[in-house]
Amino acid sequence: MKTLLIIPAYNEEESLEITVRSIISEVPGMDFLIVNDGSKDGTAEVCRRNGFPFLDLPINLGLAGAFQSGMKYAYRHGYDCAIQFDADGQHLPEYITPMVNAISDADIVIGSRFMDSKKPRSMRMLGSNLISGAIWLTTGKTIKDPTSGLRAFSSKMIAYMANGLNCGPEPDTVSYLIKRANARVVEIPVKMADRYAGESYLNPWKSVVYMTRMTISIFFIQLFRKRLGGGC
């Protein structure tokens, strides 16, 4: 299966090379594309110095815009599967092959941290539970780890997300694709590591805002989005 790893990167000069080297070591020959999302540090230089394929966005579009840029590339180059993969080292390349295998019988594969273990008690996990509940109430589908950033998408989903106007790699989009495109979603158990360097975008306050925004979007905003006809 022709697969592309899409690696959005914003100010990841300290971790990017280590992440990519680990991918090359674990899955030699795997196609990957780094999307430099208007970084202010040396992320682009890391790509040039190592000969890593990358898109160099002139401004910061955020995760949604960066990922959709990668999806447009995947769509135009005829990929069967696209995998969202973090540049900071949290996602482990040993799960790439299992995700590719799982997409054969699904449209979206989510690498879930909570299939074999319970969620820890925290505000962030409370928000994750709220999003899971919102998805279940609106689609009837149970997703244990809706905020996992390790996701694989089939060629059908690549087409929808590449051509849509609001198709970021977020739980509300997954919910929408289940409901409007009959997307088949499966989860596989994964573990995640700590970041190699830097700090997470989601500090406690931003986590609360993010979880609230996702829940509202799933319950209300999705009702006003049109049924899919080739794009979100």
Q: Which pLDDT value is given to residue 159? A: 95
Q: How many CB atoms lie within 10 A of CB 134?
A: 21
d(CA 29, CA 71): 20
Q: Decide: 88 and 15 in contact? Cβ < 8 Å.
A: yes
Report the amino acid identity of residue 30. Answer: M
Residue 232 lies in a domain: no
Residue 162 lies in a domain: yes
Q: Which strands form 3-9's sheet, in the order they lie side by side?
A: 54-57, 31-37, 3-9, 81-84, 151-154, 108-112, 185-189
Q: Count of alpha carbons within 13 Å of 108, Cβ hemisphere only?
A: 30
Residue 123 lies in a domain: yes
Number of domains making up the chain: 1
Q: Which pLDDT value is given to residue 227? A: 57
Q: What is the pTM of this model?
A: 0.90
Q: What sign does the dihedral 207-56-174-92 (CA atoms) show?
A: negative
Residue 229 lies in a domain: no
Digit-by-digit pLDDT tens for the chain (232 residues) are: 999 999 999 999 999 999 999 999 999 999 999 999 999 999 999 999 999 999 999 999 999 999 999 999 999 999 999 999 999 999 999 999 999 999 999 999 999 999 877 776 666 677 888 999 999 999 999 999 999 999 999 999 999 999 987 788 899 999 999 988 899 999 999 999 977 775 555 556 677 788 888 999 888 876 666 555 556 6
Residue 8 lies in a domain: yes
Q: Which pLDDT value is given to residue 199? A: 52
Provide the β-strand partners of residue 83.
Answer: 5, 152
d(CA 172, CA 215): 8
**Angle value at C-alpha 51, between 48 and 54, nearest 5 degrees:** 70
Residue 153 lies in a domain: yes
How is residue 34 written in tokens? 């780094």
Q: What is the CATH number of the domain that holds 161?
A: 3.90.550.10
Q: How many CB atoms lie within 10 A of CB 210?
A: 18
Q: Which pLDDT value is given to residue 76? A: 97
Q: Which pLDDT value is given to residue 57? A: 96
Q: Which pLDDT value is given to residue 231? A: 61
Question: Where would I find the beta strands (DSSP E) of 88-228?
Answer: 108-112, 151-154, 185-189
Residue 209 lies in a domain: yes
Residue 179 lies in a domain: yes
Q: Which pLDDT value is given to residue 204? A: 63
d(CA 51, CA 53): 6
> What's the domain range around 127?
3-224
